[in-house]
Structure 1
Amino acid sequence: MLNANIEAAMNLSFAAFLRCGEFTLDNKEKFDSSRHLSRGSVQFLPNVSSPTHVLLSIPSSKTDPFRKGVSIVVAAAPGTSTCPVAALRYLFEPHPADVNSPLFVGENGQALTRTSFIARMKSAIARLGLDTSKYYPYY
């Protein structure tokens, strides 16, 4: 399940140009579905059984000074290993959860933290044989 969470987080954040702070929490932060991405933030369209895209509702962001929220349409990339819609669908289908629970969870079963996500990202970069010091995590 953890790998599915990390894969979905990586695929979605890349496809939707998300900032790390939009889909992870600081270590000291407590999850709040009214401010953070939750399962209810994702809507599969036209339907969950054969989605062509998702509507991602971001309740709060650094670039949203009035905290009105914003919705982003993220298209599927069928047949690719980096399809954000397929990764989200896999995350949702076998593992139903409350709409107010965190969209992505870490090893402890709690909302995914920035520290944990960056560590997993650096580990993936290292497995590719690349120098992790050349990749700076932008928040």
Structure 2
Amino acid sequence: MSHYPPISEDLLIYFIVHCATHLHLKYSTIKVYLAGIRHHYIMAGLPNPLTSTNNQPHLRLQYTLRGIQRLQGPSSRPRLPITFDILRQLCSLLRSTVYGPYLDLLLESAFVLAFSGFLRCSEFTCSGRSFNPAYNLCVRDLNVPTDTQGYPDALSVNIKASKTDQMRRGFILRLFATKSTICPVTTIHRFLRVRRQMCSSPQEPLFILPERVPLNRETFTALLRSLLSRLGFQPHLYAGHSFRIGAATTAAHAHLPDHLIQTLGRWSSDCYRTYIRTPESLLRHASQSMTMP
């Protein structure tokens, strides 16, 4: 049994108040930290430190958490979707040359992959400049087989780590050629050829910037918002997660079955419904239809 120190309710309260007032952490982040503490103690064979001896939640701890949540108010993170129409505009802009041939192709490939794969930003970018080939997307994680005539028809991506994949089992993402101007297979196959011409090793980041540093979330979001600003959108309303939301929204508008949207986005429940943005015109039409005799 590990020799972890005993944790009282008072100590937990001091901890979360310190996180909120001195470290300026969000309520959701504090909850993750508490979950981490709970996980380590239980894995060590010790009682759950977040509950009392009779296995009931610590009331004062819960009230303090609730107070922090109310003080911070609701999250104001941008959540607008990047639908297929916006994706098409982004790709068209990049093809007209914005940052240079290599970076333009890199961004187009990342955008198309994120949208087509319903990916979270953390699944194809890294945090800061810390790149770990065991978890982050590498050149070797892509496989683009070609047919007898040398044309790519499908694409497989090895996603090794994900937000909901706590055991790091990973999954193989399969994408298929769309035979349209926005095709994940042809776009990424073109980018992969460029990466190989750069004499990249298999364990190098797939998306690496011209200065030879891996593409991280902050840089990706900044470049995305710069492009959206050029197109006349309000950039602060979009972020990396907008591609996943936009993919779900586009799939719903294309009348894909619910179970298929859930499978494409790898949702284990029907929480994907909260990602789907319904236009006001459709709601207006639904309301008018309900009042027709």
TM-score with structure 1 setting the length? 0.89
Runs of 4+ in 1 over 4 A off after TM superposition: none
Per the alignment, residue 52 of structure 1 pairs with 153
Q: How does 1:78-89 map to 2 (within 5 A)?
A: 78-80=179-181, 82-89=182-189
Over the matched positions of the two proteins, sequence identity in percent amounts to 28
SS class of match (2:226): helix
C-alpha distance in structure 1 between counterparts of 2:207 and 2:173, whole Å: 17
1:93 to 1:24, Cα distance in 2 relative to 1, 3 A: same
What letter matches 2:188 in structure 1? L
Count of matched residue pairs: 137
1:14-55 C-alpha deviation (Å, 9 max, x unpaired): 10011001111111x521211111011111134593111101
| Equivalent residue, structure 2, for 1:101 | 204
Structure 1's 115 and 107: CA in aligned 2 closer, same or farther, altered over 3 A? farther
* Kept in 2: contact 1:106–1:113 (CA 8 A): no
Matched-pair contact (CA < 8 Å) for 2:131–2:205: yes
Cα contact 2:217–2:240 (8 A) shared by 1: no
Larger radius of gyration: 2
89 and 136 in structure 1: CA distance in 2 versus 1, 3 angstrom threshold: closer
In the alignment, the residues of structure 2 paired with residue 105 and residue 47 of structure 1 have an alpha-carbon distance, to the nearest angstrom, of 28
Q: Which has the higher strand share?
A: 1
Among 107, 113, 116, which residue is 2:216 paired with? 113
Q: State the Cα distance separating 1:137 from its structure 2 match.
A: 4.2
Relative CO higher for 1 or 2, CA cutoff 8 Å, sep ≥ 6? 1
Structure 1 pair 50–115 and aligned structure 2 pair: CA distance change class (3 A): same
Using a 3 Å threshold, how does the CA distance of structure 1 residues 63 and 47 change in structure 2: closer, same or farther? farther
Matched residue, 2:110 = 9
Secondary structure, counterpart of 1:122 in structure 2: helix
* C-alpha spacing 1:65/1:106, structure 2 compared with 1 (3 Å): same
Alpha-carbon separation, structure 1, partners of 2:147 and 2:170: 23
Q: Which has the higher helix share?
A: 2
SS in 1 for 2:187: helix
Task: State the secondary structure of the residue aligned to 1:94.
Answer: helix
1-structure distance, mates of 2:240, 2:136 = 20
Where 1:118 maps in the other structure, the secondary structure is helix
Q: Which residue number corresponds to residue 228 of structure 2?
A: 125
| Alignment correspondent of 1:37 | 137
2 CA distance for matches of 1:133 and 1:32?
29
Measure, in 2, the Cα distance between the counterparts of 1:69 and 1:116.
25
Which deviates the most, 124-133 or 46-55?
46-55
- 1:79 Cα deviation after fit: 3.1
Distance 1:17 1:50 in 2: 24
Alignment partners' CA distance in 2, 1:131 and 1:58: 31
Q: Is the 8 A contact 1:60 1:68 kept in 2?
A: yes
The amino acid across from 2:113 in the alignment is L
Structure 2: give runs of 5+ residues left out of the alignment. Answer: 1-101, 243-293
Query: Cα distance, 1:134 vs. partner?
Result: 2.4
RMSD over aligned CA atoms reads 1.9
TM-score, length-scaled by structure 2: 0.44
Give 5+ residue unaligned stretches, structure 1: none
